């Protein structure tokens, strides 16, 4: 098991344990106070445990070695896992939105107490801590499922913060609890959009950013004594590794063997310096 897998399992395991404990506390506080926002927030927290299970499954599947059917490996399970998490969040957001609207029309209000305040503050602190933990591991590993899980934690922290605001304003605005339930739902829908968009972009293939292209051009200049014109860059993300393809124009008087040797040397340099597998298509100027 490599470092990427270990950190994915660590984040998922810590998240599951803490989220189950927070769910029990928030659900109990929501029942006692009659708050739809707090109960919705509790289910949002429990959904984090489900998303962490999906994350662990994604890490396990993406770590499988390449085979005859999947010659580039199974790294894209990370993006697929992130999409699963996004769909789960969308379902939860829809349920919260529906319940909050129903509560406004029924004229119900919540009866918060000290227990609800303490539980909500605890939730904000714990969930933001988990978000920071997941984001840090994402920056270390580049695993986008960790980033998705981090945003899941953060939206839960923000929704708990909104519930806290509702508790403080409950005496002024009876409908605040339901309004916050709607606001939390909208916030979760936006998070779903960001998670799924990012994952689909990775699956569909992206253009390399200008910083990476600049690095590649520097490697080409330092590696080859022949004048080359690189262009038409494409990169494909496979979780643990990336595949880069691009074209290189060189003098038409260079024979096939020499051109092949130049391309191979550049490919090896890119692999050594950037850790990216590359394939070069040679064209005459």
How big is the CA angle at 144 (ends 124 and 194), to the nearest 5 degrees? 65
Phi, psi of 106 (to 5 degrees): -85, -10
Confidence class for position 231, pLDDT limits 50, 70, 90: confident
Structure confidence at residue 239 (pLDDT): 56
Confidence class for position 163, pLDDT limits 50, 70, 90: confident
Same domain, yes or no, for 226 and 181? no
What is the tally of structural domains in the chain?
2
Same domain, yes or no, for 125 and 40? yes
Same domain, yes or no, for 122 and 193? yes
Q: What is the reported pTM?
A: 0.55
CA distance 169 to 94: 25
Same domain, yes or no, for 184 and 219? no
Please state, as a whole number, how many other Cβ atoms lie within 10 Å of the Cβ of residue 68.
5
Same domain, yes or no, for 7 and 86? yes
Residue ranges making up the domain that contains 257: 210-284
Same domain, yes or no, for 161 and 187? yes
Please name which of 253, 258, 256, 262 lies closest in space to residue 230, comparing C-alpha atoms: 262
Same domain, yes or no, for 190 and 247? no
Same domain, yes or no, for 134 and 237? no
CA distance 46 to 96: 14
The residues, ordered by sequence, that sit 6+ positions from 154 with a Cβ below 8 Å of its Cβ are: 127, 128, 131
Structure confidence at residue 12 (pLDDT): 76
Same domain, yes or no, for 52 and 182? yes
Same domain, yes or no, for 175 and 276? no
Domain CATH number, residue 99: 1.20.1510.10
The residues, ordered by sequence, that sit 6+ positions from 105 with a Cβ below 8 Å of its Cβ are: none
């Amino acid at each position: 098991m490599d470092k990427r897998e270990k950190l994915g399992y660590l984040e998922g395991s810590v998240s599951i344990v803490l989220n189950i404990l927070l769910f029990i506390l928030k659900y109990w506080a929501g029942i006692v106070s009659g708050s739809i926002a707090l109960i919705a927030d509790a289910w949002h927290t429990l959904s984090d445990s489900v998303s962490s299970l999906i994350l662990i499954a994604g890490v396990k599947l993406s770590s499988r070695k390449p085979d005859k059917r999947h010659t580039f490996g199974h790294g894209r399970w990370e993006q697929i896992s992130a999409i699963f998490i996004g769909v789960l969040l969308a379902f939860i957001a829809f349920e919260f939105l529906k319940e909050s609207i129903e509560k406004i029309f029924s004229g119900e209000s919540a009866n918060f107490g000290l227990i609800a305040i303490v539980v909500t503050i605890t939730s904000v602190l714990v969930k933001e801590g988990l978000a920071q933990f997941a984001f840090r591991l994402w920056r270390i590993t580049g695993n986008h499922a960790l980033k998705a899980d981090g945003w899941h934690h953060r939206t839960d922290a923000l929704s708990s913060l909104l519930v806290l605001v509702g508790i403080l304003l409950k005496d002024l605005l009876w409908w605040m609890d339901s309004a916050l339930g709607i606001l939390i739902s909208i916030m979760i829908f936006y998070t779903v959009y960001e998670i799924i968009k990012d994952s689909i972009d990775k699956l569909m293939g992206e253009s390399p950013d200008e910083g990476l292209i600049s690095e590649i051009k520097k490697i080409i200049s330092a590696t080859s004594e022949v004048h080359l014109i690189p262009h038409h860059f494409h990169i494909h993300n496979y979780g643990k590794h990336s595949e880069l393809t691009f074209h290189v124009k060189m003098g038409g008087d260079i024979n096939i063997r020499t051109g092949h040797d130049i391309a191979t040397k550049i490919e090896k340099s890119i692999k050594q310096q950037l850790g990216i597998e590359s394939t070069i298509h040679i064209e005459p100027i």
